Amino acid sequence: QVQLVESGGGLVQPGGSLRLSCEASGFTMNYYGIGWFRQVPGKEREGVSCISSSSSGTRTTYADSVKGRFTISRDNAKNMVYLQMNSLKPEDTAVYYCAATKFPLLTMNDRDFSSWGQGTQVTVSS
């Protein structure tokens, strides 16, 4: 059974950092694209970042709103993907979800993702 579990969310002051973790079970993450999304109540879900590996290497992509502040990475041995978030802003406040594609895609279109975690709350506030 495919399962994704996020952790690492919390309350942080503006300018602070958090590292989100996404642990997978039931499948091997490095064969698929793994994305991070976020959603605020009343707004559409937003793609934040994605990581995908192939024989050509590992590629990443980021939303413009987080470029230079967030870094996605993976630990294949632990079957985990991380999202390091630095210089956090109040507008980063959201529930963050990790998700997996069915194929090794690099994408932030949520329709390409077939498995989702339950989400972890990130609140950036003073």
103: left (phi over 0), alpha (psi -120 to 50) or beta: beta
| Rama region for 8: left / alpha / beta (φ>0; ψ in -120 to 50; rest) | left
From the list 85, 80, 76, 78, the residue with the least C-alpha distance to 98 is 80
Averaged over 71-93, what is the pLDDT? 96
Gyration radius from the chain CA atoms: 14
Q: What percent of the chain has pLDDT over 90?
A: 83
Per-residue pLDDT band for 85 (boundaries 50, 70, 90) equals: very high
Q: What pLDDT score does 96 carry?
A: 98
Contact 117, 2 (CB under 8 A): no
The position carrying tokens 């958090």 is 18
One-letter amino acid for residue 28 of the chain: T
Please write the tens of the pLDDT for every residue from 3-36: 999 999 999 999 999 999 999 988 888 888 999 9
Give the pLDDT confidence score for residue 57 in this predicted structure: 87
Answer for the pair 121, 9: CB distance below 8 angstroms, yes or no.
Answer: yes
pLDDT for position 120: 98
As beta bridge partners, residue 61 has 50
pLDDT in tens, 45-63: 999 999 998 888 899 999 9
What pLDDT is attached to residue 35?
97
Residue 121 has pLDDT above 90, yes or no: yes
Instruction: Confirm if 97 and 116 have CB atoms less than 8 A apart.
Output: yes
